[in-house]
Amino acid sequence: MVLLLFVDLDPDLAALGPLGGFFVLRTPGEALRPLATLAQAYAEPSSDPQGDPLGFRVRKVANALRAPELRIAASVAQQGLAARLWSVTLGCAALHGRIPDLDARLLRWDPDGSAPDDLWLTKVRPLPSDPASIADVVLHGHLEPLTAALHHRYRVASGLLWGNAASALAGAARQLDQWARAGGRTDTAARARALTAELLTHPLLAGTGTLTGTAFRRRSCCLYYRVPGGGVCGDCCFTRAPRSSPRAPSG
């Protein structure tokens, strides 16, 4: 009955496709590869290299960016995954008034995939789309254990990672707002903005930055400026890359 309930909303979450790759989520109708769940990624790694999907992803990002420190790659990897989780959840909430249950035990992830992160949801179960439910799914279900794992393993400042999470939320909302307005769906745009503003008051995100309309200015830096050829992002606390700073502000 749960699946039948979701059919009225969007059986394959296909309506999110036109918004771009960050909003796409593979569903049970698609072939599943034997990938790790995100619950396994957040857990302590085993001695088997195959049992460390999170470490594999951080090393892959580090190699791709030629990052001088693993903590930089950990920050970039976390922000990319946060953007995927926020995009799918916020997109469903704004379009359908329901969100899929993204329980970390149901969500499979390809750590060797390209960006945006490739995600498979093994069972579609609808949940309410109020801010508290969204926070439970994304913040408590994913970003809290992910932040704890990366802080413990790579010594990335927690404030920096929560700044990444807020930035990813604001970015998803901005893209959704632009798409909805272009299609004349002002109700969808308004709902996305309202949900985002409310979510940014959550204790885990409060104080990470300032939202003005759909523009967000964070109080921390994701460290991207420290990769070769990198610069500052549009919502960074810096207006230009610091010339010499061992550590960016953590928020």
The pTM (predicted TM-score) of the whole model is 0.87
Rg (CA), the chain: 18
The pLDDT tens digits of the residues spanning 101-150 come to 999 999 999 999 888 888 888 888 889 999 999 999 999 999 999 999 99
**Cα–Cα distance, 6 to 100 (Å, whole number):** 9
Q: What pLDDT, on the 0 to 100 scale, is given for residue 42? A: 95
Q: What pLDDT, on the 0 to 100 scale, is given for residue 8? A: 39
Instruction: Name the residue ranges covered by the structural domains of the chain.
Output: 2-226
**Cα–Cα distance, 97 to 110 (Å, whole number):** 28
Q: What pLDDT, on the 0 to 100 scale, is given for residue 89? A: 94
Q: What pLDDT, on the 0 to 100 scale, is given for residue 69? A: 94
Contact in structure between 21 and 116 (CB atoms under 8 Å): yes
**Cα–Cα distance, 155 to 214 (Å, whole number):** 31
Q: What pLDDT, on the 0 to 100 scale, is given for residue 34? A: 65
Q: What pLDDT, on the 0 to 100 scale, is given for residue 81? A: 96
Q: What pLDDT, on the 0 to 100 scale, is given for residue 117? A: 86
Using 70 as the pLDDT threshold, list the residues of the chain that sit under it. 1-21, 28-34, 46-50, 243-251
DSSP code at position 19: G
Q: What pLDDT, on the 0 to 100 scale, is given for residue 3? A: 29
Average confidence score pLDDT of the chain: 85
Long-range contacts of 144-148 (CB under 8 A, 24+ apart): 144/204, 145/42, 145/104, 146/41, 146/42, 146/54, 146/78, 146/81, 146/82, 147/78, 148/42
Q: What pLDDT, on the 0 to 100 scale, is given for residue 123? A: 84
**Cα–Cα distance, 90 to 198 (Å, whole number):** 12
